[in-house]
Chains A and B, each alone.
Chain A
Amino acid sequence: MSLILTLSELDGDTLARSSRETLTFARSLADAHGWDLHAVAVGEIPDTAMADLRAQGVAVAHALLHDQLDGDAAPAAIAAAITELHDRLGAGALVGSGTDHAAEVMAHVAARTDLPLASNCTEVAPADGGWDLTRVRWGGVLLEDVHLEADVALLTAAPHQTAAADAVSPGAAELHSFKPELDESLHITRVVERASRGGGISLATAPVVISGGRGVGSAEGFGILEELAELLGGAVGCSRVATNNGWRSHNDQVGQTGTRVAPDLYVACGISGATQHWVGCMSAKKILAINTDPEAPMVTRAHYAVIGDLHELLPALVTEVKNRRGVG
């Protein structure tokens, strides 16, 4: 019997949300083939993450242990280790998340093995000795049905497309350590410095994102968005226009070429909603558009809308939120 090897990433002591989604995606393929679901992670796997892997139905969890993988490893080295493990196991499919890091690692695995890699898949099933799959194009406004012929299926799962769900019966999640024989030359690319933004809530994981576009009008105009985001425990995002005008850092940009977010609520202030922006926020559970133009694509596609000037609404909203906090 063959198996599916899934690249798993940790978020502190637990399995990252993206990796749980990816395991759920990979499990449907494992079930269709009748294959075992394996997971691989870099470094020791903490108990809480092991519990997550069991819940996802993982039969075997591989911990990649090597001093070249401690801390300063570049994706190339991680990919070399995963390729080595794959050679040992003979996996029928290798699946990673469509996150920046995992996608980069998977591309290195694809280059090493010279196998095709289908990026950002939403569905996959065995068919005609290969696989039929659906993948995302144009950041998600289009889908492509593809037939893949290969000895091994290399896939990344599109972020926010599969809801993480526990397996009907938990897996054994037997823990195996794997020490790859990494080539010293891989160490020529390495991380020499890491810095945390320090405090604040990251855009990618914030429960609410208050985002501003052309309508905000200036860098200073974002002050009121910052205030509202802080009150609600959220993060501030922006559109490409705001970045190109130098009002915000590109790290705050939501969109196809920025960050894809999936908060409980996305508040788009003065953003018209071009495709480039829409694909970055369309996975939000709820979207509220605040815009002076009732015909703006952002307004017509949002769940909720307020027609009006954000510079009038947001100060009133901050006061309203503070009042409700005071009363509650």
Chain B
Amino acid sequence: MTLNILVAVKRVPAPGAKIVLTEDAQRIDTKHLGFTVSPHEECAVEEAVQLVGKHGGSSTVITLGPPVAEEQLRTAISMGIDHGVLIETDEQEWDALATAAALTDAIQTLEADGDRFDLILFGNESADAGNYQVGIRVAHALDRPVVSGIKAIEPTDARATMKRAVADGFEVLDLPLPAVAAIKEGINLPRYPAMRGRLLAKKAQIRRLTPQRRDGGMRRVRLHHPPQQQAQTQMLGTGADAAPAVAALFEEVGLL
């Protein structure tokens, strides 16, 4: 059984230890920042490459974002993804409802032109917005089963078992294909793109789609930093000599 897999990613800034906001408090100041995708999505890309490598088939990466988001598509292609699709927007951020609706339209367009996707993979949540819902909304719109937090996928015939961690262990779910899964970091260790992959990615054709935007009901007022509670770090000593002071802290906290 071969697999046709779609992976959805989102271009996000890669912030350092401190996030700087623009003066109007509407965005992160990205002047000095690089861009990436969330670790969950990097793992989803790797999983698609591995599954197609093992079972045969084809993989496609899709993103909704500004023209520069092509960079994230090419990175995925350099890791071994076959095709890239950009749903091109302006620089504005789209909320979860708008993003899911545009992705659903795009997937229906792609499937009308070619094969059905047996698996559509999302990251469990994006690094920046953390909405925890786009994959689930797309699955409902396409009338396909979906599960989140997935750390292992085992396809068998027209079904797949998917494993996820829960508080005190794990659970395995069984789904018919086609299906949707929100992937969690830990499912694999994403590869570093090889030179050949990077050369292929440079030349790869990216398909462009134009989305319709629907209003999602949420309007940003401003971004801000949470209040800083911690003022001064109390030094308990250096090296092994600090052991009694640390043990005293354990007592103070009620651990001893």
Contact = CB atoms under 8 A, between A and B. Distances in A.
B255 A233 contact: yes
B38 A257 contact: yes
B105 interface: no
B139 A75 contact: no
B195 interface: no
Main secondary structure of the interface of B (DSSP, over half): mixed
Given A191-B172, A299-B233, A304-B236, A273 B17 contact: yes
Interface string B167-198: 11111111110000000111001000000000
A7 interface: no
B148 interface: yes
Nearest to B251: A324
A151 to B, nearest CB: 9
Contacts of B16: 275
Contacts of A234: 255
A257 B185 contact: yes
A301 B228 CA distance: 10
B246 A317 contact: yes
A171 interface: no
Interface in A136-182: 136-150, 156
Interface residues of A, number: 101
Contacts of B184: 250, 257
A321 B216 contact: no
Contacts of A300: 233
B74 interface: no
A179 B53 CA distance: 46
A246 interface: yes
A-B CB proximity, top 9 nearest: A250-B186, A308-B239, A111-B140, A107-B133, A116-B217, A316-B240, A193-B172, A145-B221, A316-B243
24 contacts: A76-B145, A103-B132, A104-B147, A111-B133, A111-B136, A117-B133, A119-B130, A138-B19, A142-B225, A146-B220, A146-B221, A148-B217, A149-B218, A188-B145, A197-B169, A232-B250, A240-B39, A257-B38, A257-B127, A257-B185, A299-B233, A306-B245, A313-B242, A321-B256
Interface of A: 74-76, 98, 100-101, 103-104, 106-108, 110-112, 114-120, 132, 136-150, 156, 188-198, 202, 204-205, 207-208, 232-234, 240, 243-244, 246, 249-251, 253, 256-258, 264-265, 273-276, 285-286, 288-289, 297, 299-309, 312-313, 315-317, 319-321, 324-325, 328
